[in-house]
Amino acid sequence: MTTESPGRDTCPSKVSPSRESTMESTTDLDRARREKKPFFYCRIVANHPIKCFVITLLCHFAMMIISGILLGSGFNLFPTNFEKLPMELYDIPYRLRDYAWRDRNDYDNRFKRTLSNQGFVTYERGLYAVYSSVDLYYDTDGGNVFTKSNLQRMQTIENELASSASFSPICMTYNSSLVCKPFQSILRYFDGTYKHISATLDDPNFNNIPGVLYEAVTNNDTKSDFLFFLPKGYSLSATHAHGTLTRSIMAAGCSISGTTKCALKTWRTETLVHLKKIKTILEKHVDDSTDDFKFYFHSLNLWLSDVLRQAIMDMLCAVGSMLFIFCFMLFHTRSFWIAGWAIISILLSFLGTNIIYTGIIDFQYFGFFHILSIFIILGIGADDLFVFYDNWRLTGFSSYPSLAHRLSDTYSKSVLSMLITSLTTSVAFFSSAISPLLATRSFGVFSGLLVIYNYLSVIIFFPTVVTVYHLKYEQWTCPCCRKCKKKENPSEKEIKGNSNEVYVITEVEMTVNEKESPTEDYPVVNITVNGVPIPNVKEKSIVMNGHSNGHISNGKAVMSNGSANGNIANGNVIANGKPKSAHGSGKHEKDAMMIKALHKKKQKKLVVFFRDYYCRFVTHKITRCVALPIFAIIVGVFAYSASTLEPDNEQLQIYKKSHFYTQAMDKELYSFVQNVDDNLLTVNIVWGLSLKDRSDCHFSSIDCRGTQMYDASFDPNPVANQQALKDFCDFFYNMTSSDINKYNIKTDTSGNPEVACFTRDLETYLKSLSIGGLDLSLPWDSTKTLAFMNAQTSFYDTSSFSSYPHFLSIPMQYWMYNGYSGNFTADYGMYNDLFGEENSTYSTALKTDSSIFYGNKLKYLAVSVNTTINRRTTGYSKGIPIVQQWEELVNNRMSMMPAGVNNGFQLTRDSWHWFYVLKSLADNALLGILIGVGLAFPILSLSTMNVLIGFLATLSICCTTVCVIGVIPLAGWKLGLLTSLNMCLVVGLAVDYVVHLAEGYTLSLHTDRYSRTRDMLEEMGPSVFSGACTTLGASLFMFAAEIQFFMQFGVFMFCTIGFSLIFSLGLFTLLVGLIGPQGNTGNLKVLFRKCKEKLLKRGSGKTS
C-alpha cells in the first residue's frame, strides 16, 4: 500500500488558481490560532498539571463524601421507589375525585354500620383471593382443545399442581375443615361435580366430550358459569365440539378474620413463598409446550414479584454497557489511564447530579427511569470524551509555542462543540420537565442536570487527565503478556542501528510503503526520499524525541509543543542542538526519513480514512447523484410509516409479547366469550364529596393524596331533593336501549341496566313493610318520619324530635339493618358502601342496641353503574370521548337538580384518569420533539454563527426524528405509555453528532466548502464515529431485556443513534460538500455588521 504525505490537501478541491495564496493565508491563520494566548485555565493546567489533577479529582470524590455524610445524617439521598410509577395528573379532576371516593370514610365522628354476619364465610381461606390465584390457559393455536388427549393433558397438569405440598397451605377452602376446593375448570363438568344437575355431566374418561359440553352450555343451571371457559368462535353440538383454547383457575383463599386476612400484606407475602414453589411446576409445563398444545399461566402476586426481580436483572445490562464502553475507550485511546478515569468521571457525575437533584432541588422520587439515564450519560459522556481526546491527538501534528498553547487549541476546537451538544440535549430533556406527570418531569430534570454536570466534568477534569498522561505516561506501553516497560528514548539511549543523534526533517518528499512481516514484532517499511530508496526499515528502530515524539504537518516535520532538544532551522535537521543538512550524507538522510516514517505511521487510520477516502467519496458527483435520492426515499418511507402511527388502546404491557405472562393476559382479554368482571369499569356518581386538597403536599411526593374535603352544602333531606334523587335514579333505570349503548352500560340477563341507585330498592323495601298502615314511599318529610318512629317506639325515642333535620337517614339505616334484625341481605352487600353517616348532635343510641346510633347526618351518597368498558383494552382515543359523554350527562342532570344535591360528580377508579395520562404522555412526547427541533435551529445558528449551517444541521435532526418515529409502527408498536416516554429522548440524542460536524465545518480556516468539509471530517469524523459505536454497542445490551420498556428503550437508543450517524456523516456531510457556505456566506457576524453599517449610514444621512 502506498501512503501519501500526511498533509491536509489530500481531498480534491475545486478552487481558483489563487490556491497557493489561499493556502498561505490559511497557514498564517492556523499559525495565529496556534500561537494565540492560551485560555487561562489551560495555562494553569499546563503549569501545574499534577496539582490540577489532584484538586479536580478530589472535587469529584467530594461528591462521594458529601453523599456519605448526607446518608449518615439520615437524609433520604436516594428516594428510590421501583414499585410505583407516579403518573398522577392533577390538572384534571378525575384523579382527585378518585382519591376522594377511596378516602370517603376518612372523617371524624363517622358512624360505621356493621353486622354480626357480613354475608361472608368466616373460616380460614374461605374467600376467593384474586391477587394470589393462578389462571391457567391451554391453547392449541387454532386447533381443537376439546379432544381426549388435550383434556387428559390438562388433567395431568391440574392434578400435579393440586398434589403439590405448596398448594394446600394457600388454597381456597370448602369449609372449616379446610378441604381445598378443586380447580375451577372445564374438567369439573366431566368428573361428576355436576352430576346432581344432569347425569350427562359425569364422564371421567372423556368418552362423550361433545355430549358433556353441549349439556353444560344448554342447561340453565350451568350455562352462565360454563361460558367462562369457552373461547370466541366455539362450536358445540351433541355430536361435535370445537374450541381453540380454554382456561382454569387455581383458586387461592383468604379470610375476613383469622390469620389469613385478605387485606394483610403479610398474607400476600406468605402466599408468594408458596406460589414461587408452585411456579417451578408451572414453568416446567410452559417449557414442555408444543405447537399443538401451549400452556400459559398468570398470577398477579407472582407477576408483580417477577416484574420487580426481572427489572433489577435487566438493569444489570447497564453493567454490560459500561464494560463495553470502557473496552471501546481503551481500544480508542490505547490507555488504561484515560479510559479508566473517563468511566469514573461519568459515574461520579451521576452521583453529583443526584446531590443537586435531591439535596438542592428537593425531588423526593427516584425510579426506574432515572436508572436508565445511566445508559444515556454513558453514551453522551463517551462522545464528549472522544471529541476532546481526538482533538488533542490532532493537535499533536502541529507545532505550538508551549503545552498551554496546545491545550488551549484543543479547548477551542472541542469545548464549544460539546457545549452546543450538551445544551441542546439538556434542553430536550428539560422540555419533559413541563409535563404534569412526576415520572417524566423528574426524569427530564434529572437527565438534563446530568448532561450539564457531565459536560462540566469533561471540560474541567478531563484536560488534567490528558495532560498528566501526556507528561507522565504517554511513553509507556502495557502489552497483555509482559510487564509494562518504558519506550526507549533516543535522547537517553543510543538507537540500535543508528547514530546517537536525533533529527527533525523539513521539506522532504517521501513515499512510505508498508509491508507485513508475520515473523517480526514490528512492521517493515520501504521509504523513498527525494528519489533515493531506503528499503526494509524496521519501525522499532524509529523513535522520536520531545513530548509528542514529533509530527508531520503539511509536508513539514516539526517538533510538538516547542519541546524539541534544539531549534528547527529551515531546510536543515537539528541533531541535539547541532544543525545538519537534510540533503547531506546518506546516513543523515536515512535517519531523518526513518523519523518521518514513524510520524506517518502514527497517524490514526480512522483520521486518514475520513479525511482522505471518505471525503473523496462523499463529495464525488456520482455519490451525490445516487445518495440524495436514496436519502429522500428513506425519509419518505419512514415519514409515511410515522403517519400511520396510532394511539395504543391497550394498557401497559410489561413483558415482551413472546413471554408467557403476556400471552396469558392477551388470551384473557381477547380470546374468550366472557370477560372477567374485574376488567369492566364501574361509574360512580357521588354527592357530598369535594376534590382532594393537595396544597400541603410536597411537589414530588408520590404518596400524598391530599386532605379529604367534603361538600358542606350537601343535603338530601328536603322533599324536593329526595324527589330529585328519585328522578335521577329513574332516569337510569328507564334508559332506552340506544342510551344504554351510547353510555356502554352493562345489562343483566333480563336486559335491565345494572345500576345500584338506592331510591328504587329502598322504596321497594319500605313498601314491603306493614307498619301501622303508613305510606312509606319516598319522599319522606318530618311528618312521615315522626309517624314511622312513633310506630317503632321499641327502637326510637322521639322526645326531642321537634327540630330534627335528618329525615332520610332514618329509613335508610332501618333498611340497611333489615329492621334492626342484623341479618345480612343482598341490599346491604350492594349499598352499604355507597352512603356514609356521621354522628351529629341529634345522634341517639338505639334502645335495643347501644352501639347503633340513629338520627345521624348523611355525609355522602353515591349511585353505581356497571359498564361494558374494558379498562385493559380501552385506550385514550376511545376512552376520552366516553369520559366526556359521561361528564356531559352528569353535568346536565346536576344542572336540573335543586341546591343541596346539585354538586355531584362522576368518577371511576383509575381508568378515567389513566386515559388522560396516556394522552398527556403522547402530547408531551410530540411537544418535546417540537420544542427540541424548534430550539435546535436558533441554537445551532447562533453557536456556529452561520444560518445555513444551522438550517442543514436542523434538517439532519428532523430526518433522524422522522425515521425514529417511523420505526414505531414498523416494529408493531403504537403510541402508548412506553413509546411516548421513549420519544422524549429522540431529539435529545439526535443532535449530538451533527452538532460536532457543524462546529468542525465552521472552525475550518479554509474558505471553500470542499476544504472545510475535509477539515470537518478530519477533526470530527473519528470522534463522531467512535461516539456512535459506543452508544450503539451499549444499547445492544438492552435488546436482551425481558421487560418491554427496557427493550424498547434499547431499540429507541439504537435507532436514534444509528439514524443520527447516517444523516450526520451521510446527508449533512453530503449537503455541506454540495451547498455548504463558502467564505462569509450565511455568516451572522457579517450579516449583523452589514445591518449595523446600513443603520449607521441611514442615521448619518438623516442627520446631514
Q: What percent of the chain has pLDDT over 70?
A: 84
Q: Rounded to the nearest 10 degrees, how much is the dihedral formed by the CA atoms of 845, 846, 852, 857?
A: -70
Please state which of the ranges 327-336, 557-566, 610-619 shows the lowest mean pLDDT.
Answer: 557-566
* Residue owning grid cell 478531563: 462
Q: What pLDDT is attached to residue 490?
A: 43
Give the pLDDT band (50/70/90) at residue 1103: low
Of 546, 531, 499, 523, the closest CA to residue 600 belongs to 523
Please tell me which of 181-190, 327-336, 422-431 the model is most confident about, judged by mean pLDDT.
Answer: 181-190
Q: What pLDDT is attached to residue 729?
A: 94
pLDDT at 757 over 50: yes
Q: What pLDDT is attached to residue 515?
A: 44
Q: What pLDDT is attached to residue 835?
A: 94
pLDDT tens per residue, range 212-258: 999 999 998 898 889 999 999 999 999 999 999 999 999 999 887 77
Q: Rounded to the nearest 10 degrees, how much is the dihedral formed by the CA atoms of 591, 592, 597, 603?
A: 130
Give the pLDDT band (50/70/90) at residue 561: very low
Q: What pLDDT is attached to residue 651?
A: 62
179: left (phi over 0), alpha (psi -120 to 50) or beta: beta
Strand 572-575 vs strand 844-845: parallel, antiparallel, or unpaired? unpaired
> Chain centroid to CA 976: how far?
12
pLDDT tens per residue, range 377-391: 888 888 888 888 888
**Which residues, other chains included, contact 808 with Cβ-Cβ below 8 Å and sequence gap of 6+?**
716, 717, 722, 780, 858
Q: What pLDDT is attached to residue 1030?
A: 87
pLDDT at 483 over 50: no
Give the pLDDT band (50/70/90) at residue 853: very high
pLDDT tens per residue, range 803-825: 778 889 999 999 999 999 888 88
Of 444, 446, 438, 441, the closest CA to residue 87 belongs to 438
**Which residues, other chains included, contact 423 with Cβ-Cβ below 8 Å and sequence gap of 6+?**
939, 943
Radius of gyration of the chain (CA): 40
CA pair distance 877, 769, nearest whole angstrom: 50
**Strand-pair partners of 138:** 246, 295
Domain residue ranges in the chain: 10-14+23-70+316-474+918-1087, 95-112+674-692+707-907, 133-298, 501-603
Give the pLDDT band (50/70/90) at residue 575: very low
pLDDT tens per residue, range 526-535: 444 444 455 5
pLDDT at 57 over 80: yes
* Residue owning grid cell 370445537: 242
pLDDT tens per residue, range 1019-1062: 888 888 988 888 888 888 888 888 888 888 888 889 999 999 99
Q: What pLDDT is attached to residue 20?
A: 53
Tell me how far CA of residue 892 lies from CA of 122, 886, 895, 904, in angstroms.
45, 10, 5, 11
Q: What pLDDT is attached to residue 959?
A: 93
Q: What is the mean pLDDT of residues 727-741?
A: 93
**Strand-pair partners of 525:** 514, 537
Helix, strand, coil in percent for the chain, rounding step 5: 55, 10, 35
**Which residues, other chains included, contact 40 with Cβ-Cβ below 8 Å and sequence gap of 6+?**
none
C-alpha cell at position 1096: 449607521
Query: Coil, helix or strand for 565?
Result: coil
Q: What is the mean pLDDT of residues 928-953?
A: 85
pLDDT at 366 over 70: yes
pLDDT at 912 over 90: yes
pLDDT at 920 over 60: yes
pLDDT at 596 over 70: no
Give, as one character, the DSSP assignment of residue 113.
Answer: P
**Which residues, other chains included, contact 1099 with Cβ-Cβ below 8 Å and sequence gap of 6+?**
none
Residue 583, number of CB atoms within 10 A of its CB:
16
pLDDT at 549 over 50: no
Please give the backbone phi and psi of residue 471, each rounded to the nearest 5 degrees, phi first. -85, -30
Please tell me which of 665-679, 727-741, 988-1002 the model is most confident about, judged by mean pLDDT.
Answer: 727-741
**Which residues, other chains included, contact 487 with Cβ-Cβ below 8 Å and sequence gap of 6+?**
475, 476, 477, 543
Q: What is the mean pLDDT of residues 571-582?
A: 38
Residue 65, Cβ density class (10 Å: 0-12 exposed, 13-18 middle, ≥19 buried) = exposed
Tell me how far CA of residue 26 lies from CA of 550, 958, 996, 1004, 1083, in angstroms.
22, 34, 22, 9, 18
pLDDT at 22 over 60: no
CA diameter of the chain: 138
Q: What pLDDT is attached to residue 387?
A: 85
Of 949, 951, 944, the closest CA to residue 1085 belongs to 944
Q: What is the mean pLDDT of residues 637-663?
A: 84
Query: Coil, helix or strand for 571?
Result: coil
Give the pLDDT band (50/70/90) at residue 94: very high
Give the H/E segment covering residue 340. helix 336-354
pTM score above 0.85: no
Give the pLDDT band (50/70/90) at residue 675: low
CA pair distance 852, 814, nearest whole angstrom: 11
Go through the chain and tell me how many residues it has.
1104
Give the pLDDT band (50/70/90) at residue 13: very low
Q: What pLDDT is attached to residue 516?
A: 44
**Strand-pair partners of 247:** 137
Q: What pLDDT is attached to residue 263?
A: 80
Q: What pLDDT is attached to residue 670?
A: 84
> Could you give the strand order of the β-sheet that contains 134-139, starting from the edge strand earlier in sequence?
245-250, 134-139, 294-298
The average confidence (pLDDT) of the chain is: 82
Q: Rounded to the nearest 10 degrees, how much is the dihedral formed by the CA atoms of 1074, 1080, 1081, 1085?
A: 130
Tell me how far CA of residue 293 lies from CA of 75, 153, 267, 443, 663, in angstroms.
55, 9, 34, 44, 14
pLDDT tens per residue, range 182-218: 999 999 999 999 999 999 999 999 999 999 999 999 9
Of 600, 605, 509, 620, the closest CA to residue 11 belongs to 620
pLDDT at 630 over 90: yes
**Which residues, other chains included, contact 1059 with Cβ-Cβ below 8 Å and sequence gap of 6+?**
959, 960, 963, 964, 990
Give the pLDDT band (50/70/90) at residue 85: confident
